[in-house]
Structure 1
Amino acid sequence: MSVSPSINPYPDIGEFAFGNKGRILISIFLYLELYFVAIEFLILEGDNLQKLFPNAKIHFGCVKIVGREVFVLLDAIVILPTTWLKSLGLLVYVSIGGVLASIVLVFLIFWVGAIDGIGFEEKGVIWRWDGLISAISMYTFCYCGHAVFPTICNSMKDRSQFPKLIISY
């Protein structure tokens, strides 16, 4: 991307490196990856919420949706409008909501365990440190938008700051 300012997303990089076939191949892999990550997210959310609310049901006339499918459908309905945003800048507010929800969730889990005494019986290992860095980096890489790195770089006012962004990421 530093070679030519006209190179923006990964398909442009593929075309620059390998021609039109490289562009097509990278586009196919990129969009398949994004599609499968979205499907994986819906399945994970459906499974987790179904375990929390095992008796969830929705009835539409003679159509009955139960269990995991209820939550996959609800998650898709909630997430779908975020794919229609015209500016990536608006996703900042969605991301802030996710970060705040995660902070509140961690706080509540510690509150219930430490103050209410539910779940902590001081037996066994509290925290397994081995593999923590690998797990965090895997989730960060898979779910935190590595596919949009070129677009982020090119939308920055000062592109020379991109390496600092990546290090902090």
Structure 2
Amino acid sequence: MRCPYCGSLDTQVKDSRPTDDSSSIRRRRVCPDCGGRFTTFERVQLRELTVVKKSGKRAPFDRDKLMRSVQVALRKRLVDPERVDRMINGLVRQLESSGEAEVPSEKIGELVMQGLKPLDEVAYVRFASVYRNFREARDFGPLLDELSSEEGGPPPEKSKQDV
């Protein structure tokens, strides 16, 4: 592992332990050349995935890109980062264990929406608005109706005092 401080290729592992959800190994490393200390994470990758985009282009699956898009939807929302990481890990495991080397981007988007809905409804709506390419405010109607019907009925109407 290359040292991020001096670029040396000779770093030493000082401590290894599984993460809380046992989905990766956390390694504490030290560089003998500059004395720099840093942490790396090692994950199991079952297979190389390729994302097939709507245009037909193919790109390697990028877990970090997926995490960034979810974090954009969750911006300024109070959601435990560990829950987000578990959701992403579960999604990636589901994709890798599906047996398919090529995954349509639509499938990834739908899986993210399924994961976000129980995590945070606002983030779910934010992600859906970009994923489904909403153009006008009325495009949100069916999505919000779906959410309110799952909660057991329509949202309460506001009285004149609330406005």
TM-score, normalised to structure 2, is 0.26
Does 1 or 2 have the higher relative contact order (CA < 8 Å, sep 6+)? Answer: 1
TM-score, normalised to structure 1, is 0.25
Structure with greater helix percent? 1
